[in-house]
Amino acid sequence: MPSPFLRPDSVAFGHMLTDAAVGILSEAGATAFSSRALAATLGITPSALSQRAGRTEVLRVVFVFFADRWEAWTHDLGPSAVPARLPETEDEVLGVRAWHALDELARGELAQGNDVPAAVLALARERESELVARRLTGLLGARPADADLAVVMALVGGLRREVTTTPEPSISTAMATELLTGHVASLAARLPQSVRSQSVRSQSVRSA
């Protein structure tokens, strides 16, 4: 099964660059990311890479291409009792580690005046948040309050981090899934039955 975060068969510069970045970031973290490290992974000289793209452009390409992969992964959930994906395979674990490292890298770039990486990740988070809101609406029978959605997104982020902690995860994916499912159940229990029923009827009418 192909990795959701790698495109090893692509010869497009953006995909090759992003694959190299994912390998570096997932294994060694944000502090290991550099043009020299990317060039070494790609099997070219740093000067050859800089001739193709400077640091700012390299960062933009890596963040944009990875964000596309992240969105594809988060959206590919299918029927589930949880509203967001948690990493299950080793490839997914490496991808989530890369996401965390990119987040750290984006904060460093922002401090230096480059707001593009942070903006790319913010848009990816916004899109996933809206997706999770729609999934929660289906699970709960009513759209969650903004505060409840924010808590779910924070919980998902924390669980993803704990499942991918190195050298050993703090909790298993099964345990993380159980915690997330339990939280969704607690949200459902707080909703009046009349609200849930009305929402379910409205969804049925829209899908008819």
> 36-83, pLDDT tens digit by residue?
999 999 999 999 999 999 999 999 999 999 999 999 999 998 888 899
Which of 199, 52, 47 minimizes the C-alpha distance to 138? 199
User: To 5 degrees, how large is the angle CA 179–CA 183–CA 125?
Assistant: 90
- By mean pLDDT, which of 81-85, 153-157, 182-186, 188-192 is the weakest? 188-192
What does pTM read for this prediction?
Answer: 0.89
Place of tokens 């230096």: 112
Mean of pLDDT values over 125-130: 97
CA distance 48 to 190: 59
Which of 165, 7, 4 minimizes the C-alpha distance to 100? 165
> 150-162, pLDDT tens digit by residue?
999 999 999 999 9
Tokens linked to 191: 């909703």
Domain at 13-207: CATH architecture:
Orthogonal Bundle (1.10)
CA distance 33 to 107: 14
- By mean pLDDT, which of 34-38, 131-135, 164-168 is the weakest? 164-168
Query: What pLDDT shows up at residue 196?
Result: 52
Query: What pLDDT shows up at residue 166?
Result: 85
Going by pLDDT thresholds of 50, 70 and 90, the confidence category of residue 2 is: confident
Q: What is the DSSP string of 8-75?
A: TT---HHHHHHHHHHHHHHHH-GGG--HHHHHHHHTS-HHHHHHH--HHHHHHHHHHHHHHHHHHHHH
Query: What pLDDT shows up at residue 199?
Result: 45
Give me the amino acid identity at 76.
Answer: D
> 72-93, pLDDT tens digit by residue?
999 998 888 899 999 999 999 9
Tokens linked to 47: 């000067």
